[in-house]
Amino acid sequence: ADTRDHIFPKNLFPRPLPSNLPTAPSCINCNNSLSDDEELFRVLVTTGSAYETASGRRVWDERVRPSLQQNRRGFKALLRRLVTEVQLPDGGAALALKIDRERVNRVLRKIAKGLYYLDTHEPLPENAKLLFKYDEPRKLIEPPLDEAIKGAKRTVLGDNVIAYWRNIIKDDPSNSMTWLLFYNVHAFLI
């Protein structure tokens, strides 16, 4: 590691950045290699209901919109490929952003590795298996997961931009569960 990387992409936060953003050691190539994935992740988690939150709207207006206007590295073309029309229950139609799970999972993997490092001060073992679940927040904490989250410590970063809970098995810290909640809307379980 020749640099430090923010565990949670700093592009998710409105300016000024919170002073308590956790970092972990990283090599410069790894640090820079996820930039496009993190930008796509930011678009994903700031759309829909997240835009209704003050932080989500600020990030969209201050960071996403200018990025789209600059069309950095063909980002508009990428988003066009991911936008699709969906049918609504009332018979109408709306535009939706398809989730590129491979790219989202790379960002979630980075977050999981960083949080593991914060807990253990060791890199995540190379053979560790990471499982990802995307869903509505209430579905990720209903039984039996509600019992696991009760024992987990909740940490909030920014103005409710990110909340996360970690439940770690004491004898085996590589066996853990992490709930991530972005803008009180988008939830992931790792």
Instruction: Using DSSP bridges, classify how beta strands 172-182 and 93-97 pair: parallel, antiparallel or unpaired.
Output: unpaired
Q: Read off the pLDDT of each residue in 28-42 and give the average, rounded to a whole number.
A: 89
Tell me the average pLDDT across 73-96: 85
Residues of the chain with pLDDT > 70: what percent?
A: 96
- Flag whether pLDDT at 8 surpasses 90: yes
Mean pLDDT of the chain: 87
pLDDT at 74 (0 to 100)? 74
Q: What is the pLDDT of residue 22?
A: 95
Whether 162 has a pLDDT exceeding 90, the answer reads: yes
Per-residue pLDDT band at 56 (split at 50, 70, 90): very high
126 vs 22: which has the higher pLDDT: 22
CA 47 from chain centre, in angstroms, equals: 13
Q: What count of other Cβ atoms lies within 10 Å of the Cβ of residue 137? A: 18
pLDDT of 174: 67
pLDDT at 71 over 90: no
pLDDT digits (tens, 9 = 90+) for 93-115: 988 888 889 999 999 999 999 99
Phi, psi of 32 (to 5 degrees): -85, -20
